[in-house]
Chain A
């Protein structure tokens, strides 16, 4: 659903990549999501202060190097109950943000870029000929959506996910997370369940937030291996004498194991003619494919999983020493085609793409968009993510406690907020503080030097 909104203008932006999330129709109550429940959620459970701390990146402190206008230049946008869409909301601080969210009770909160000026007052700046209203910072974001995997999963399609196809997301997280850290040197990365059928990634290092569009596009392209589509037959072409080290690592450490040990059997990739023809279509050698067809025509039952047996036969034929390089490479191409992460490229390319805030409640599923720990993402179960009605119930049965306690602590949201704080927010704020201090002292030094002149 890449960039279903308009693109590229200055004040026309792209709505959250998981665009189909907005397929919501009017006035329906979804799995217990209604305005009254949301009011309670925003009133008692939504971690306003944590979101504020995060979006301030240390600029809410007392250090003279802090930029106090920083948080106020961030765009938020709200989707309200009756499909009213409010763009360019901005807040001077925590209490203003919290009050606005509680009062408006948005079904969805999107986070946009930090602009050069307060986005709520953008019109005041639009008079001059120079366009001063422009995005200046934005997290590097990624959006991966299960509906883009429809041609490689047989269990579900469209918006549905199950435990058989969800591991494709786990694989995507593993491949991207390690490359973002090891290759690009980023440290502050937040993965979030999008509430229904995908994941979002927020890369929050200062260096990432200040990338320009060309650099963002370059990173997105670095991750791109899908060159073709159904018009060109081949989804993945791996050319050259060798693979790039990033692809080698992704293949050897994640994709190959996942494909052979899980996906082959769970999706029954070679079960019947329809399915294996799709894979044979990726092998550009008639004699090999017809020999395999011959072997597979006879559908004898054996103890072993038929998918695994056939895959071994296919590999054996393609990888025998006498085959040419492009045929041996075919095995890897098949693995990549079925397992390599499929990014919504448009989301990552531009600074001005909006993305749904963590801890929102998905209006269709009622599930909270909670963070996913990339270090144990294989344990994440989208069907077990707390729903709004569940946590509100937990809140009720626990009875009321004394004021000032963290309400979320008593619900199944607790673990998620704790993870967000300890593994993401605290290390992030620590490095923000260091960055603010060092750039401030550098500035002081500079002005001293210029005085000496």
Chain B
């Protein structure tokens, strides 16, 4: 919620027409089949880049600029009148594409919500108020008498988030704190007796909550319609299109180990040294050292090992060997074995959980005693340098890695580390710890083959 935008130029007369649709109902528009696909692919490009931006830990202002540029680049249309249609059509096409599994829905919901958030932020205050009205949000502004009473606190909060009180036009809404969880979580609002004082430049949170809520419900409904009607009706026309669109962009999820990457317990230390990315190596070493990892670490490492190809029985033996040194075998069986079987889908709701992607790891928030997270993001510079040194990253390469870290390109930093450790160039870019692992194995194996040949 950074940045002053109280003196932003008001919208031009000809785009007073709301430029930001709420997608409340599907359009009754004729669409040519080519446009159907073209528009959807253009929008997907935007969503995909948003996802990349978020996983690099870009700040709100950077994201806002990024979204504005992406939108201009991909979503413009030679005919001005078509711009809004393209926006609406592409959104509803992707709803179809991404409604079909929980995983797809989650990704789409989160990316569309981000897109909406940053587009909303780019709007003028007048346009924002108009959109709030469109959502029928019932909040009242704080009266000037009340404002005077809490002015000092409001100004403290504003300064604590790097703003000044004037950046929100002095307009505040009083809202039950439950409605703005993200502002509460970041201590970005003043809260008194359960009421949060939301500045005009923060209403995006209120609106986004509403947007996400409505879209989430709509996606479930769309899915129901898809499975009961559309899929069958459209099986020669839209269905193949829809099904190919989603798989082309999400990348592999590494929930099933590749056959060549199976590992056994006796090799695990060797493999950890040669082919684990730093985040997993660190967890692995800490586990060997402390014979314990807190919950976040167990999840991050445990699911990674599953993706690497550690069988359930081996996983149980692996964790037990460590934990029982600290807690005894009995306590392991009682308290920890369950969660490992759970990761493998053998307990609870029996979901086969997927290993964490870089994006998820980078955005985690390790606390006291935690060792999970992305070292490039969460380590101090000193600790990161030491850890990279232990991995065998030479001093020149190390400076390159640190340069990427300073610019918040954590995945690029990891990619450079891969290159330094393996002594090869690596163009793909790291998006997933399991990708690092399997490509490392591949590199090492081909080198071995070359040596023996």
Contact = CB atoms under 8 A, between A and B. Distances in A.
Nearest to A150: B369
Interface residues of B, number: 51
Interface string A192-208: 00000000000000010
A245 B348 contact: no
Interface stretch (A11-19, A289-297, A407-415, A423-431): A11-19
Given A23-B331, A232-B378, A232-B380, A227 B365 contact: yes
B369 A229 contact: yes
A394 to B, nearest CB: 35
B161 interface: yes
Contacts of A67: none
Contacts of A214: 181
B162 A12 contact: no
B372 to A, nearest CB: 10
A55 interface: no
B356 interface: no
Given A11-B348, A229-B366, A240-B161, A4 B336 contact: yes
Contact of A240 (B162, B178, B338, B348): B162
B380 A6 contact: no
Contacts of B382: 233
Interface stretch (B39-47, B59-67, B185-193, B434-442): B185-193
Contact of A221 (B160, B186, B342): B186
Contacts of A441: none
A61 interface: no
Contact of B348 (A3, A10, A22, A184): A10
Interface stretch (B119-127, B151-159, B226-234, B309-317): B151-159
A215 B378 contact: no
Interface in B171-195: 177-178, 181-182, 184-187, 190-195
Interface in B310-350: 327, 330-331, 334-336, 338-339, 342, 347-349
A332 interface: no
Contact of B338 (A8, A12, A83): A12
A217 B368 contact: no
B181 A218 contact: yes
A7 B295 CA distance: 9
Given A5-B338, A148-B369, A248 B184 contact: no
B184 A221 contact: yes
B191 A229 contact: no
Contacts of A211: 178
A345 B367 contact: yes
A243 B158 CA distance: 10
A291 to B, nearest CB: 21
A381 interface: no
A226 interface: yes
B379 interface: yes
Contacts of A8: 348
B349 A9 contact: yes
Contacts of B327: 23
B375 interface: yes
Contacts of A215: 178, 181, 184
B386 to A, nearest CB: 10
Nearest to A13: B348
Contacts of A15: 335
Contacts of A221: 184-186
B349 A183 contact: no
A22 B190 CA distance: 40
Contacts of B330: 25
A80 interface: no
Contacts of B185: 217-218, 221-222
A2 B181 contact: no
Contact of A231 (B153, B294, B380): B380
Contact of B162 (A6, A23, A241): A241
A3 B298 CA distance: 11
A9 B367 contact: no
A218 B182 contact: yes
A326 to B, nearest CB: 13
Contacts of B370: 229
B19 interface: no
B383 interface: yes
Contact of A182 (B178, B186, B192, B295): B192
Nearest to B294: A2
A378 interface: no
Interface string A212-253: 001101110110101111011111000111111111100000
A261 B328 CA distance: 42
B371 interface: yes
B83 to A, nearest CB: 34
B336 A222 contact: no
B194 A9 contact: no
B301 to A, nearest CB: 15
B153 A245 contact: yes
A222 B185 CA distance: 5
B348 A244 contact: no
A342 interface: yes
Contacts of A23: 327, 331
A222 B380 contact: no
B335 A4 contact: yes
B177 A184 contact: yes
Most chain B CB atoms below 10 A, which of A8, A10, A19, A186: A8
Most chain B CB atoms below 10 A, which of A6, A148, A218, A234: A6
B191 A184 contact: yes
Interface in A238-272: 239-248
B38 to A, nearest CB: 36
B380 A9 contact: no
Given A218-B185, A244-B187, 7 more contacts: A5-B338, A7-B339, A22-B334, A218-B181, A227-B367, A243-B160, A244-B160
12 contacts: A5-B335, A6-B348, A7-B339, A9-B351, A11-B348, A22-B334, A207-B194, A211-B178, A218-B185, A231-B371, A232-B379, A233-B380
6 closest pairs, A vs B, by CB?
A: A9-B348, A185-B194, A218-B181, A221-B185, A6-B339, A12-B348
